[in-house]
């Protein structure tokens, strides 16, 4: 009970000090408010941007290795002239790799062509992306079908003209009813719609996503377009297992099989690239870490100024209440009571400034955004309040110690 009374009395003193010197308090807390606002707003924007970037890249899958002609690169020189001579992965290589691989939970091949026009009656959808995928494609990358179904093995093997379309294609071509069972034309060929993919929404890169896409069996796609060394490129995707978190076993085995298929000698360089999403994710993580560090620097100066402001308030408060401190000590108040009283007041004032800064960030998140959803996470709220509490303790510790060590007789005599 004594600690609860101590907290209540400290809170009362802090509130009285704030009301008695409102303008001084507001000006002193402004530094903490601006500092917390700067740090939390930067972290909120960085977290929201990173989350949107990762969501936009979710189409590349998780724990997947992609066998392609061109390697992904995040910086440095890119010897494209060397990669240009490489052959494209083929369906034959996919079949052999699928048959021999033992450390993969799924293997699929895909190819795509942009700039297609989907037609149905008088309706048309321009600049759509047509993608040919093997039957096992959902084992390496999610295909969230909200209406209808996926291909059957018989449809994939027989190269049937069936198609799964994205939400934007579906609403454009079939605005008044379900597209399931309806037909549309792509490149002069009729396709029967068997499924509709769940709405994905715009991604932050502005890249085509599943909303603007049509998916057909890879065998059907191969009949429509020249897919191979002299035509459209293909990608072989290998899904890793849970017991291979680093995908090292999968990558080692897949590389050996591909080198064997292509007849490469031991000293020959790989004539293919094994791309991993982690390469891009690590680059993204490094970039956002640097931005976050910049946010700490920007907000740190404001917080430093705010800390001096709170320390100034506490020194003035100790001086104004020296007589009261002497009376409290004469009545038996312990040093820790006086220390805790002023320290609590400093933390309270700092938390008040930090809370206002967090509230300003929250108000900013309410502004509608088309390309990116900005949200204030609980982690950033806790971080902001935690930093405010630390600043309050550091700013108030010296005034609190001075107040607790005052001689009661001298303190009572002061005016």
pLDDT tens-place string over residues 372-397: 677 888 888 898 888 888 888 888 88
Q: What is the pLDDT of residue 110?
A: 93
Q: What is the pLDDT of residue 188?
A: 87
User: Could you tell me the mean pLDDT of each successive run of 10 residues in the chain, 415 residues long?
Assistant: 68 70 74 81 78 62 84 71 86 92 92 92 91 92 91 93 94 91 92 92 60 93 86 89 83 93 91 80 68 74 78 79 77 75 81 88 79 78 87 86 79 68
Q: What is the pLDDT of residue 1?
A: 63
CB 130 within 8 A of CB 112: yes
Q: What is the pLDDT of residue 3?
A: 65
Query: Considering only CA atoms, which of 80, 98, 65 is closest in space to residue 261?
Result: 98
Distances in whole angstroms, Cα of residue 330 to Cα of each of 97, 183, 276, 340, 400? 87, 93, 72, 17, 18
Residues near 295 by Cβ (< 8 Å), separated by ≥ 6? Answer: 38, 39, 42, 43, 46
> Can you read off the two tokens belonging to residue 107?
């293997």
Dihedral angle over CA of 137, 278, 243, 64, nearest 10: 10
Domain spans of the chain, in order of start: 1-56+283-413, 87-271
Q: What is the pLDDT of residue 119?
A: 94
pTM: 0.64
Q: What is the pLDDT of residue 279?
A: 63
Q: Following DSSP, what letter does each residue of 148-212 receive, concatenated?
A: E-PPPHHHHHTT--EEEE-HHHHHHH-TTS--TT-EEEETTEEEEEEEEEPP----TT----GGG
CB atoms within 10 A of CB 153: 10
Q: Following DSSP, what letter does each residue of 13-62 receive, concatenated?
A: HHHHHHHHTHHHHHHHHHHHHHHHHHHHHHHHHHHHHHHHHHHHTGGG-S
Q: What is the pLDDT of residue 130?
A: 94
Q: What is the pLDDT of residue 28?
A: 72
SS3 string of 244-267? Answer: CCCCHHHHHHHHHHHHHHCCCCCC
Q: Following DSSP, what letter does each residue of 210-252 receive, concatenated?
A: GGGEEEEEHHHHHHHS-BSTTSB--EEEEEEPTT-TT-HHHHH
């Amino acid at each position: 009970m004594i600690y609860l009374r101590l907290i209540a009395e400290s809170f009362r003193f802090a509130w009285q000090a704030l009301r008695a010197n409102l303008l001084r308090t507001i000006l002193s807390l402004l530094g903490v408010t601006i500092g917390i606002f700067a740090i939390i707003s930067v972290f909120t924007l960085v977290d929201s941007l990173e989350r949107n970037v990762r969501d936009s890249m979710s189409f590349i899958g998780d724990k997947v290795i992609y066998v392609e002609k061109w390697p992904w690169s995040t910086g440095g020189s890119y010897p494209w002239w060397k990669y240009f001579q490489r052959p494209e992965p083929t369906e034959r290589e996919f079949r052999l790799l699928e048959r021999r691989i033992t450390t993969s939970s799924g293997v699929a091949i895909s190819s795509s062509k942009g700039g297609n026009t989907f037609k149905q009656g008088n309706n048309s959808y321009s600049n759509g992306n047509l993608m040919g995928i093997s039957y096992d494609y959902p084992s390496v990358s999610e295909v969230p079908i909200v209406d209808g179904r996926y291909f059957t093995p018989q449809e994939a093997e027989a190269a049937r003209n069936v198609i799964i379309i994205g939400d934007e294609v579906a609403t454009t071509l079939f605005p008044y009813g379900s597209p399931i069972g309806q037909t549309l034309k792509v490149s002069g060929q009729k396709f029967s719609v068997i499924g509709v993919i769940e709405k994905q929404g715009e991604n932050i890169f502005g890249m085509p996503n599943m909303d603007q896409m049509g998916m057909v069996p890879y065998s059907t796609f191969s009949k429509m377009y020249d897919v191979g060394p002299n035509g459209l490129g293909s990608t072989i995707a290998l899904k890793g297992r849970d017991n291979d978190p680093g995908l090292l076993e999968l990558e080692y085995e897949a590389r050996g099989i591909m080198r064997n298929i292509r007849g490469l000698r031991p000293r020959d360089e790989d004539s293919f690239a094994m791309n991993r999403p982690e390469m891009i994710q690590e680059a993204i993580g490094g970039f956002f870490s640097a931005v976050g560090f910049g946010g700490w620097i920007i907000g740190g100066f404001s917080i430093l100024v705010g800390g001096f402001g709170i320390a100034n308030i506490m020194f003035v408060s100790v001086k104004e209440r020296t007589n009261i401190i002497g009376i409290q000590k004469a009545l038996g108040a312990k040093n820790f009571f006086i220390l805790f009283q002023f320290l609590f007041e400093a933390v309270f004032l700092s938390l008040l400034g930090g809370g206002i800064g967090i509230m300003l960030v929250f108000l900013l998140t309410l502004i509608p955004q088309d390309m990116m959803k900005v949200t204030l996470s609980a982690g950033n709220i806790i971080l902001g309040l935690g930093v405010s509490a630390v600043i309050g303790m550091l700013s108030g510790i010296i005034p609190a110690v001075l107040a607790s060590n005052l001689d009661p007789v001298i303190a009572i005599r002061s005016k």
